[in-house]
Amino acid sequence: MREYLKFYIGGQWTDPAELRTLDVVNPATEEVCGRVAAGSAADVDRAVTAARKAFAGWAATSREDRIKVLQNILEEYQRRSGDLAAALTEEMGAPAGLAGGFQVGLGAGHLTRAIEVLESFVFEEQRGATLVVKEPIGVCGLITPWNWPMNQIAVKVFPALATGCTMVLKPSEKSPFTGQIMAEILDAAGVPAGVFNLVQGDGAGVGVPLSSHPEVDMVSFTGSTRAGVEVAKNAAPGVKRVTQELGGKGPNIILDDDAFAANVRAGVVDMMNNSGQSCSAPSRMLVPAARMEEAIGVAREAAEQTTVGDPTSDVAMGPVASAAQFEKVQGLIQKGIDEGATLVTGGTGRPDGLAKGFYVKPTVFANVTNDMTIAREEIFGPVATILGYEDLDHAVEIANDTEYGLAGYVAGTDLEQARAVARRIRSGWVVVNGGFDFDCPFGGYKKSGNGREWGEFGFHDYLETKGILGYAPDAAS
């Protein structure tokens, strides 16, 4: 059993102000697999103080110095990739293939891209007599979720380091192992003392004092919209910058063409990835109403071919991450049945043969209307909903009829038509026929948040813009 009972503060592994612990439950076995120390306001204050002390020195480092540190981190990250993958499977149930593949690979990809961006990023620009300077914002509070731990740590920590900021990281208490290993990686890579700090704990004990701390200049939060609102409220008295990547209810518009069946199948497979625990999941599939029955047949087959089971084995889907998540998903599946959606496959309860573990049946609903709860609320589980549309105007209307705006999808062989539809979707991230790009800005409209992460766009939220007037009076004349 893992025990992580120290925090990483000021370049040292230190005891908490008062030792309290949180159990970590393996969602595949429902058994406690580890304990972590639960931080308090006193621990947060020590970490923020260390970050503030280190800020001036780290902010003054050269581009070349920061690139070298990031390259050292990449070497250590690659060396520890197996440890990270094992931790992901244990703490949040990611199947081994997903954990060691895309989950860990996302962290490496974002780190590599941060190095590339830093090599040519424009921190100073002369505009006539004015010099425009991009400077690190200061001490950053980074709060990350349990569903894609390495991705969300990577898109916060690496841009913050690259731009010259110092930071305090609070990983989710449901998936804390990867955050602990990340601290070990940064320590081994030679990140200067105080630049990166780690305090484990829950939202009340660590998240609140971190987001409200007067010496924190910026908070970057990923999680639920409900929690994001509370983070913003906590941060407001300090007038600190707050960036948020929150919930989603992504529309997936399937165009009426010869690739229809293949695109329906792909949409269901994508929905089941990571047990449906993705804020960017294509959870509302929109199909031509006249082809609903065809969509039902294809979706049923795709869902029923999804293998579910022990995440240490060769399966497509493991459990959802916790008992609370399991109960939430079960309740929303029942809500879909109660409100009259057609249950195509799946439903409540565990899959056959799985009596223990937080396993959910791959579930598909059809004939869903956009006023149903399962079309409005983020389920965060392996549940696909299929809605019918009359024409593309109607499809776009349904797609945008949501309080969320994180991700959208369009699939079809007519690329010009798909592009035109994509432009009309009110989301920060729209995928046409399965594209992927580490430099694509990722973030939300509406209640899906603000700010952007990934690639060059991920640097901007960690920078202040200074204009120095009269810097070059000769240029003005």
User: Which is nearest to 88 in space by CA: 424, 318, 375, 276?
Assistant: 318
Half-sphere exposure (Cβ direction) of 201: Cα atoms closer than 13 Å: 28
Cα–Cα separations (whole angstroms), residue 441 to 76, 353, 429: 27, 42, 7
Cα–Cα separations (whole angstroms), residue 115 to 55, 211, 319, 401: 20, 28, 35, 39
> In sequence order, what are the residues at sequence separation of 6 or more whose Cβ sits closer than 8 angstroms to the Cβ of residue 229?
none
Token pair in block for residue 344: 């195509």
- CA dist., res. 273 & res. 275, Å (int): 5
User: Hey, what amino acid is at 446?
Assistant: K
Residue 297: how many other CB atoms lie within 10 Å: 12
Q: Which residues are marked as active site?
A: 245, 279
DSSP 129: T
Please name every residue paired with 320 in a beta bridge, in sequence order, or none if there are none.
Answer: none
Token pair in block for residue 92: 């949040």
Buried b (16+ CB within 10 A) or exposed e, 343-368: ebbbbbebbeebeebbbbbbbbbbbb
